[in-house]
Structure 1
């Protein structure tokens, strides 16, 4: 198998399964582990995967974005812990923005039920979840619905946000890095996120360790804009400390 074809198969496998293992790839393709490691280094240099100990996972980009259904199957326990921790940061906020995505949905579910809230969201699933609560007023942003995430985007959603002042925004991203900030593959999604960051007094980023160091197509915010970053313990303490030097409190749960 030629190197180009082998690397294409590695990327396809990573995108389909969510991650790849060096030993399994070597066995499946009949090559040495070092050959696979070399392929992964090349793919990482091209921004297609990020290597881990013993494997790699795909990086989302302008040409590839995982679906919401796929995200509900990956790192579920970690996302649940992150969501519970993020929801506990509500403090005295009365108006809340909840981003699109699976972890923000879990945050919405974990919000306290005993107090009234006004929630603004682009996510149809989050809106449906919270609208059933008696003490929550839900504002669903209008616009084009993206089938991959079941959330509204484009200038209609951004324009609605521009007229609001929000106490706390729970923001997600496809990637976060100290060099390139928070990124997402789709410019229309990036514009909604950018506006949500701009109109919010406080901002919390939540995401699993695979988001860190990953870089996607559209930058919409810098880590310095956030008061807190919530992630899981697979992000190393040393890397968490590097992000904390930029200003946010970093919580590993």
Structure 2
């Protein structure tokens, strides 16, 4: 690998595990400890990771999300379980929104064969997938194209959403916690998600536990602006219970075990 490819691999690897030792990275990449340390120093300079004794962990301050193609395989079993639990909430005849993301793609897979649903999304991958199911009524928001995340963001997408009444909005996030609420490193995503909060009767965060405790520069809303959170059991009841005490419906699902 060239250095840029190696650093990208390290960042994805740390995303999967949150904390990784230098020994593990050196063995995984078959390179020297010094090479790994140089790569970590570069990633640290970019604000992506934080060094710890003998290793590295993700920075709680999310500077940039992984590209869609890079995050698709990370925590996939968790995302599948969350997606199915979310799909089980959908009733016939409803108008639902699927936010851009790899977890919401799993929601799309869960509702794809249903009849009498209207689906709105800003995600090109979700729209392309659901186009195979003509019994669904499908809308794409349009707007400013975010090629890295294969979606549309910005004012045009938000304006489309402001003209709708949604029964359920399944909202994705790369960073959220009880103190800072829902946040993002991308300013153009804020207005889209805030529009959802105004037009959806039920506002459901679908996000695995690895995103909890992270925060982006731009705050979207406190968690109490949501109605539900669906995450995985690694979030822990000690985190979920105080959120339930604030009126949120919090569901923690077990990851699926590959057959």
Aligned position for 2:89 = 89
SS at match of 1:148: helix
Aligned position for 2:245 = 245
Q: 1:130 to 1:12 in 2, by over 3 A?
A: closer
CA RMSD, Structure 1 to Structure 2 (Å): 2.9
Question: What is the correspondence of 1:67-216 to structure 2 with a 5 Å cutoff?
Answer: 67-91=67-91, 94-111=94-111, 113-216=113-216
TM-score normalised by L of structure 1: 0.81
Q: Answer with 142-151 or 218-227: which moved more.
A: 218-227
- Maintained 8 Å contact 1:50/1:214: no
Q: 1:92 to 1:228 in 2, by over 3 A?
A: farther
Residue 23 of structure 2 is aligned to residue 24 of structure 1: yes
Equivalent residues, number:
230
Q: 1:47 to 1:127 in 2, by over 3 A?
A: closer
Aligned position for 1:33 = none
Aligned position for 2:62 = 61
CA offset digits 1:75-129 (Å, max 9, x no partner):
0111100100011111456100100010001101101623211111100111111
CA offset digits 1:41-95 (Å, max 9, x no partner):
xx8xx895598xx963344634x22111111110011110010001111145610
- Maintained 8 Å contact 1:50/1:59: no
- Maintained 8 Å contact 2:94/2:117: yes
Aligned position for 1:222 = 222
- Maintained 8 Å contact 2:122/2:157: yes
User: Shift of the alpha carbon at 1:240?
Assistant: 1.4
Separation of aligned partners in 1, 2:79 and 2:51: 20
SS at match of 2:133: coil
- Maintained 8 Å contact 2:209/2:235: yes
Q: Answer with 96-105 or 127-136: which moved more.
A: 127-136
Match of 2:11 among 6, 10, 15: 15
- Maintained 8 Å contact 2:161/2:196: yes
CA offset digits 1:155-208 (Å, max 9, x no partner):
111111111111100001111111111011111111111111211000111111
Separation of aligned partners in 2, 1:205 and 1:50: 30
User: Shift of the alpha carbon at 1:221?
Assistant: 2.1
User: Shift of the alpha carbon at 1:216?
Assistant: 0.8
Separation of aligned partners in 2, 1:108 and 1:12: 28
- Maintained 8 Å contact 1:50/1:58: no
**Superposition misfits of 4+ residues, deviation over 6 angstroms:** none
TM-score normalised by L of structure 2: 0.79
- Maintained 8 Å contact 2:177/2:212: yes
**Which runs of 5 or more residues in structure 2 are unaligned?**
1-6, 27-31, 35-39, 254-259
- Maintained 8 Å contact 1:226/1:247: no
- Maintained 8 Å contact 2:120/2:141: yes
Aligned position for 1:4 = none
User: Shift of the alpha carbon at 1:29?
Assistant: 3.8
